[in-house]
Chains A and B, each alone.
Chain A
Amino acid sequence: MSRTRVAITGLGVKTPAGCDLDSFWATLLAGRSCAAPIRRIDPAALPVRFACEVTEFDPASYFDSKETRRTDRVAQLAFGAAADALADAGELGADPARCGVVAAAGVGGLITQEEQEYNLFSRGPARVSPMLVPMMMPNAAAALVGLKLGWTGPNFCIATACAGGTNAIGEAGRLIREGSSDVVLAGGSEACVTPIAIAAFARMGALSNRNDEPTLASRPFDIDRDGFVMGEGAGFVVLESWDRAVARGARIYGELAGYGRNSDAYHVTAPSPGGAGAAHCMRLALADAGLEPGDIGHINAHGTSTDLNDAAEAEAVVKVFGEHTVPLTSAKGSIGHLIAAAGAVEAVASLLAIRDGLIPPTANHSRAEPELAVDVVAGEPRALAAAPVVSNSFGFGGHNATLVLTPYTG
């Protein structure tokens, strides 16, 4: 018996590069950086004072005032992207009990949590908002999407840090394959441009310090990279069983043909030496798709612009694909690191690359590091022949996740 194939039929994003597919994609293709001085809070006292923020999102487009009051920005961004993906997918005609939601979260409703912790310490426990728990819990975004749509199928949150968005889409594909859902909205969201998050990531040495030139700060695989740039946003996709997508005449962006996930079990933040865990993860995804390394046309890299990640990922890619073979890009040069949303937004970018036959350049990648033997697309977009794309995400905790997305061939 052949296994159930999984089609991706709707895409939605809320990103620093725009809140619709066209502006998001145009920004990536232009290789433009969205990093800028932080606007939502006063960053003066912080060691890092820039980020990639979502500036065009208006909650009123999706929520009434009551809903807006009761939801953290992280859930609002998630629902916005999910609703857009759903609209993009067209009329589904699905049984709500067969519709699921898988949403990744990194830190949950941190904006609300920080505000309320301030209330606790400055004015006492009686001033803590009664709404704090449902606003800060990491599963709030998954719950909100299901609640607003009336979808009663499987609904859960994935928390694998920066690998979350990719894990969410992969696990959603599994729900369809195993037959427990016909349609799943899957993705991730993050909204942690907050004082504690910026301070904490900066204290780890994970963030770029280029306060004087934010637009040059995120430079994946570049020899002068000095850390990642904090981003925020959300990405969601609609997955459905292949047969129902074809039967309803849906526009199919691509097939989720393969998914790999594993753990480094090496260190809580550092990647395993030589990118061994990441390499194995990519091999798992290729095997799941029934493909060989030589079949892959493009890699959408995790490419955070940190010293350790980019070196380990490049080594992992070389292990699996050979030196300077498959063209690779990182969206993080343009939009920064969206943490749990990153993998979902990058899956959207991968599917748009398949749609248009174009690989966006890696913003700010101007000087390659000779030891990193990978072919980084930089400067301008590069043509992509119809071929499968690999999208990687790796998270603190040693979580690795890889998707293989293939073009629709009828």
Chain B
Amino acid sequence: MDRDQILELLTDAAVEVMDVDRATVTADARFVEDLNGDSLSVLEILEILQEKLDVDLPTEAFDGVGTVGQAADVITGIVAERAETTAG
């Protein structure tokens, strides 16, 4: 699972949770300011991604995350870390 694929899943989830036009969900888009989100929206999106990826996404790991791209970076890191752990 690379970053592009995760970005795609994030975009799906953002559209579902925040009821926004898909085209607005760019990597630079900010969840709250640009995407009709609120303090709970990111948590809801992470919940969807946890299911899709079957990986735990701890809330603390997303402190300071404001944009879709930043979330993709964190998730990509967590997924890669788990892949290493599993392989090792």
Residue ranges of A at the interface with B (Cβ–Cβ < 8 Å): 64-66, 69-70, 124, 126-127, 129-131
Q: Say whether B50 faces chain A, with CB atoms less than 8 Å apart.
A: yes
B47 touches A131 (CB 8 A): yes
Min C-beta distance of B83 to chain A, whole Å: 18
Q: Which of B11-19, B23-31, B68-76 contacts A (4 or more CB under 8 A)?
A: B11-19
A130 touches B16 (CB 8 A): no
Min C-beta distance of B51 to chain A, whole Å: 8
A-B contacts, 17 listed (Cβ < 8 Å): A64-B19, A65-B16, A65-B19, A66-B17, A66-B19, A69-B44, A70-B40, A70-B44, A126-B50, A126-B57, A126-B58, A127-B50, A129-B47, A130-B40, A130-B43, A130-B44, A131-B43
A70 contacts across to B, CB distance below 8 A: 40, 44
A130 contacts across to B, CB distance below 8 A: 40, 43-44, 46-47, 59
Beta-carbon nearest neighbor of A126 in chain B: B56
Among A64, A66, A69, A127, contact of B56 (Cβ-Cβ < 8 Å): A127
B59 contacts across to A, CB distance below 8 A: 130
B18 touches A66 (CB 8 A): yes
A124 touches B17 (CB 8 A): no
A131 touches B56 (CB 8 A): no
Min C-beta distance of B5 to chain A, whole Å: 21
* A69 to B16 alpha-carbon distance, docked (Å): 9
B side interface size, CB within 8 A: 14
* A124 to B50 alpha-carbon distance, docked (Å): 12
Within 8 A of A (CB), among B47-81: 47, 50, 56-59
Min C-beta distance of B80 to chain A, whole Å: 18
A124 touches B56 (CB 8 A): yes
Beta-carbon nearest neighbor of B57 in chain A: A126
* A266 to B46 alpha-carbon distance, docked (Å): 49
* A315 to B43 alpha-carbon distance, docked (Å): 54
Min C-beta distance of B32 to chain A, whole Å: 14
Q: Secondary structure of the B side of the interface? A: helix
B19 contacts across to A, CB distance below 8 A: 64-66
Residue ranges of B at the interface with A (Cβ–Cβ < 8 Å): 16-19, 40, 43-44, 46-47, 50, 56-59
Beta-carbon nearest neighbor of B37 in chain A: A66
Min C-beta distance of B50 to chain A, whole Å: 6
Min C-beta distance of A113 to chain B, whole Å: 16
Beta-carbon nearest neighbor of B47 in chain A: A129
* A127 to B59 alpha-carbon distance, docked (Å): 11
Beta-carbon nearest neighbor of B41 in chain A: A66
Min C-beta distance of A149 to chain B, whole Å: 19
- Chain A to chain B: the 4 pairs with minimum beta-carbon distance, closest first: A130-B43, A126-B56, A66-B19, A65-B19
Among B18, B40, B57, contact of A131 (Cβ-Cβ < 8 Å): B40
* A129 to B44 alpha-carbon distance, docked (Å): 8
Beta-carbon nearest neighbor of A64 in chain B: B19
B58 contacts across to A, CB distance below 8 A: 126
* A130 to B49 alpha-carbon distance, docked (Å): 13
* A387 to B13 alpha-carbon distance, docked (Å): 57
11 A-B pairs besides A65-B16, A130-B43, A131-B47 with CB distance below 8 A are: A66-B17, A66-B18, A69-B16, A126-B50, A126-B56, A126-B58, A130-B40, A130-B46, A130-B47, A131-B40, A131-B44
Beta-carbon nearest neighbor of B20 in chain A: A66
A65 contacts across to B, CB distance below 8 A: 16, 19
* A131 to B57 alpha-carbon distance, docked (Å): 15
* A126 to B78 alpha-carbon distance, docked (Å): 14
* A124 to B54 alpha-carbon distance, docked (Å): 12
B17 touches A69 (CB 8 A): yes
A126 contacts across to B, CB distance below 8 A: 50, 56-58
* A70 to B43 alpha-carbon distance, docked (Å): 11
* A65 to B17 alpha-carbon distance, docked (Å): 7
> Residue among A64, A65, A124 with the most chain B CB within 10 A?
A65
